[in-house]
Chain A
Amino acid sequence: MWKSLKKYWFIFWKFRAIRFMMLLEYRGNFWFWAFVSLMWTVFNFFFFDLIIGARNELAGWNKTEMYVLISTFTMLDAFTWSFFYHNMRDYIASIFNGQLTITLTRPINSQFLLSVQNNSYTNVVRFFVGLGILIVTLRNGQIPLTLAGVIGFALFFFISLLFVYTLWFIVATCSFWVDRLDNINELVPSTRRVWQVPKEVFTGFASTFFSVLLPLSLIASLPSEILLGRASFQWLAYYAVFTAVLFWLAHLFFTFSIRKYSGVAN
């Protein structure tokens, strides 16, 4: 078990090193896209600043709290575009063009390989900008930080990443069941605006849907609530259990769907 984990850990970082070498090869590309991602970050903060400016709050979240939320969203978004987007795009493409055969014949867990083999470093800047704004907001807003709060934030930040990854993986796995749908990879990132706002923005059926049935609105809200000291244990427990079950279902769905795959040897 330990040996196996060590092997996966080594492979994970080997892929990161390969991607880093590719980054050094196309440095101009890196700076260009880093600038684009930074522009989007600035735009997001600016847009919500204007909206909050109208009432000095949004769904019961004041400006400081909203900045914590948007910073958390920004850091999550960095992973979305750096990691998930590229791997899921390659996964979907490999199903459609038959190159999945190569992955399936490797002596390693296929889901792991499909999920980690690619990444981009262009959004690293976005992550650190989000982190920086988060720290400054917490300091300027005089929000008391506790060790438990920081650990809880880190834990639920990771759970949110796992949730986004799992949801995306399930959607990508649907590619086994459709003939050709090139924009299937855009489905999950297109819902990002749901988790860019506090969960209280949604009311009625939308609230039930986005908080309970498909808890997209909890992705950035819950880690932020932990830092702000307003998280509810019921929501945290529900979200953690939901993510764990979804992760298990994603694996089952993958192993089931893979039977549908056919491709000539490459």
Chain B
Amino acid sequence: MRRYFALIQLWFIKALEYRAELVVWAILTLLNTVILLAIWISVFRGQTSVNGYQVGQIMQYFLLVTVINGVTASHFEGWRSQEVREGKIDHYLTKPISYPLQVLLADIGNRLFYLTLILPITFLVYYVFSLSFNLGTVAFTPLVIAQFIFLLGVGYLIEFSCAMIAVLLSFWFEGAEGLEHFKWITISLFSGFMIPLEFMPGWLRSAVDILPLKYMYAIPIQVIQQRVTLRITDFMYIFFFLAVIFFFQRWLWQKATAKYTSSG
């Protein structure tokens, strides 16, 4: 375990090196949240509620989206894919930890630093908005917190796995980093990231109900807002999906190691 923590610590320190860039990302994330809030506020202008949501609740929804996004979103597929294509991953392969695990630990280290930035700012924004709008109550019972933290972990693993699959596919395909766009669109559409479930048309809602991406944003927010609670079937579905995605990554990695060549 010590070597894992050492790697997390190393990447946390590396993130510190590029702190200005992370500050820019944090600001841009918040800017996008504020713009999205402005759009939704204008939807509610002159109305007290739309599709069962009040303006305060919709604002709470998108502020929680920002918090969840800060914890779970992974954006390493672009530069990692480039590294693979340019044959620059040799030094990872000579270490006694598998490449995917090193990528995971590095991402956790980076994310921890990013969280120290984004979370206080988001809570400050939340507080500022709560002065003008009734954002509704957030339930902090042990059961709700446990479910929420569990779903944050699930969301992170889904995001990470999608990004990792894009990186592993770059062993075969040149434009694999473009797959991140498919990831963004799919998540934006099917997870509740940009549109709450209640605003979706019937066919999209049916698709979201079938897919596991709802556990990334829509369900955790509904848990916090005490609209739903996880059932045993949810846990079974989540574990089944994570197992499938894990074994798929492992299979891809085994094939990729046979495919990889580099010189120098």
Contact = CB atoms under 8 A, between A and B. Distances in A.
Interface of A: 28-29, 32-33, 36, 39-40, 43, 46-47, 50-51, 53-55, 58-59, 178, 180-184, 186-187, 190-191, 193-194, 197, 200-203, 206
Main SS at interface, chain B: helix
A78 B25 CA distance: 23
B47 A29 contact: no
A191 B29 CA distance: 10
Given A32-B175, A183-B25, A58 B43 contact: yes
Contacts of B45: 59
29 contacts: A29-B174, A32-B175, A32-B178, A33-B175, A36-B181, A39-B181, A39-B182, A39-B185, A40-B185, A47-B194, A50-B195, A50-B199, A50-B201, A51-B199, A54-B199, A55-B47, A58-B42, A58-B43, A180-B20, A181-B20, A187-B24, A190-B31, A191-B31, A194-B35, A197-B39, A201-B38, A201-B39, A203-B38, A203-B41
Nearest 9 interchain pairs by C-beta: A190-B28, A59-B42, A201-B42, A193-B35, A32-B175, A36-B181, A183-B21, A54-B50, A43-B185
Give the size range of B's interface with the partner: 20 to 34
Contacts of A194: 35
Contacts of A203: 38, 41-42
B39 A51 contact: yes
Residue among B21, B32, B39 with max Cβ neighbours from chain A (10 Å): B39
B51 interface: yes
Contacts of A33: 175, 178
A187 B23 CA distance: 12
B21 A36 contact: no
